[in-house]
Amino acid sequence: MERHFDDELKELKKNILKMQTLVDEAITKSIKSLVERDGELAEEVLNSDDVIDLLEIVIDKQCLELLAKRQPVAVDLRFITSVQKINSDLERIGDLCINVANASKYLAKHPQLKPLIDIPQMADITRSMLKDTMLALVDRDSKLARKVVKQDEEVDRLYVQNFREILSYMLEDNKNIKRGIRLILTGKHIERMADHVQNIAEDIVYMVEATTIKHHYEESPMKGEDTE
């Protein structure tokens, strides 16, 4: 029975890592389609969303079945409940990639407003954060997860910088407004992706340490709670 439970946990971990791979590909393609003004690549992102949605359903079902049938405690319970939350955050990142892809399709049909610098940089940081969270999950490395949480501040800074620059273009000429709005919203979508990755990192800290660090608040493990 114990061995079968371990196999089920391994399968759950394999699927959440597969989900991360799919979402990382969606981020990469959506940003590449934006930078290279590639409507066909943007369409690939739109078509891949169903795969992410279906895997989210599979993972959610696995988590619910494990909770109901195995009634896990301590570390195993925190792992399963954390994967549930991570799964939801990853699916939402996939949805944000759809928004970026739709903006890419629109912008590819119009003259470029400005060279894109901050937005690709925001995406690069977000992808790096996502990769580190998955490493933290596999290695149960709460120190690395805490590092990811702090990296979100740099994405926020770049978002504000991008917003101000695009706004200046919009104020100079009202013909820039429609394209400018889409670029500002695209920056916001990526900033939200990073927020979801931050959520994932916070969940990993809880999974490993039984410590809550959400909303800049840190709560130590309850007395007697198993962190091993």
Separation of alpha carbons 39 and 210, rounded Å: 45
Q: Which residues contact 153 (CB under 8 A, 6 or more apart)?
A: none
Separation of alpha carbons 183 and 161, rounded Å: 12
Other CB atoms within a 10 A radius of the CB of residue 127 amount to 18
Average pLDDT over residues 130-158: 97
Q: What is the pTM of this model?
A: 0.92
Between 10-24, 78-92, 210-224, the lowest mean confidence (pLDDT) is in 210-224
Q: Please give the CATH topology (third level) of the domain spanning 2-216.
A: Methane Monooxygenase Hydroxylase; Chain G, domain 1 (1.20.58)
Question: What are the boundaries of each domain within the chain?
Answer: 2-216
Write the pLDDT tens digit of every residue in 44-88.
999 999 999 999 999 999 999 999 998 888 899 999 999 999 999
Beta bridge pairs of residue 212: 219
The burial of 57, by beta-carbon neighbours within 10 Å (0-12 exposed, 13-18 middle, 19 or more buried), is given as: exposed
Write the pLDDT tens digit of every residue in 1-18.
577 888 999 999 999 999
Cα distances (angstroms) measured from residue 194 to each of 81, 112, 155, 158, 197: 21, 25, 7, 12, 5
